[in-house]
């Protein structure tokens, strides 16, 4: 687990505002709403013109399918996946975490769009609180910063390819 957030990236100087889709689980709403709020706040802090669309999924397991549908629209520069899975006594949470991780990566690769994975697998409500509601290690802030880091990487690759 990292103990420090990445530094805030600078705004990308482009003619159009970045369009970001947030796909969020409706399960564990107290924690997921904290992630949504912090992601949006940080996205707007980096670029006030950022356009954000929010899409819901019943639970974390369904996030990749909604992300796939959103990516198929081809109207977003990045997708942020937000959810919280609390580990219990069985391996169910691990199975969900593994499945979601793999599926989100497949969406990103298939559509060549950054998919920022912040579907958190946590051991307790205290851990969820630290990562979703507290300011120090907030994964919503981290997700927003990752969006701009990936958009910058995308632009670098495009420039190296002659703008294609």
Residue pLDDT, tens place only, 57-78: 999 999 999 999 999 999 999 9
Q: Is 117 annotated in the active site? A: no
The pTM for the full model equals: 0.91
Other CB atoms within a 10 A radius of the CB of residue 154 amount to: 16
Cβ 28 vs Cβ 86: under 8 Å: yes
Structure confidence by residue, pLDDT tens digits, 82-101: 999 999 888 888 999 999 99
The residue from 92, 102, 111, 117 that is catalytic is 92
Structure confidence by residue, pLDDT tens digits, 1-28: 556 666 766 666 666 899 999 999 999 9
- Residue 37 vs residues 10, 29, 43, 44, 133: alpha-carbon distances, Å: 20, 12, 10, 11, 9
Residue 136: band (very low, low, confident or very high) from pLDDT cuts 50, 70, 90: confident
Residue 34 Rama label (left phi>0; alpha psi -120 to 50; beta)? alpha
Annotated domain spans of the chain: 19-160
What pLDDT score was predicted for residue 77? 97
- Residue 9 vs residues 44, 58, 60, 62: alpha-carbon distances, Å: 12, 32, 28, 30
CATH number of 19-160: 3.40.50.960
């Amino acid at each position: 687990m990292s103990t420090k957030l990445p530094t805030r990236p600078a705004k990308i100087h482009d003619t159009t505002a970045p369009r970001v889709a947030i796909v969020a689980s409706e399960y564990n709403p107290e924690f997921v709403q904290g992630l949504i709020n912090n992601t949006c706040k940080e996205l707007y802090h980096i670029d006030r013109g950022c356009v954000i669309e929010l899409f819901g999924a019943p639970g974390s397991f369904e996030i990749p399918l909604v992300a796939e549908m959103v990516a198929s629209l081809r109207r977003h520069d990045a997708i942020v996946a937000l959810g919280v899975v609390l580990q219990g006594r069985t391996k169910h949470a691990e199975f969900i975490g593994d499945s979601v991780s793999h599926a989100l990566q497949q969406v990103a690769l298939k559509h060549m769009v950054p998919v920022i994975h912040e579907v958190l697998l946590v051991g307790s409500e205290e851990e969820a609180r630290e990562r979703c509601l507290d300011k120090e290690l907030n994964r919503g802030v981290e997700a927003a910063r990752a969006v701009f880091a990936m958009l910058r990487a995308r632009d670098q690759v495009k420039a190296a390819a002659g703008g294609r």
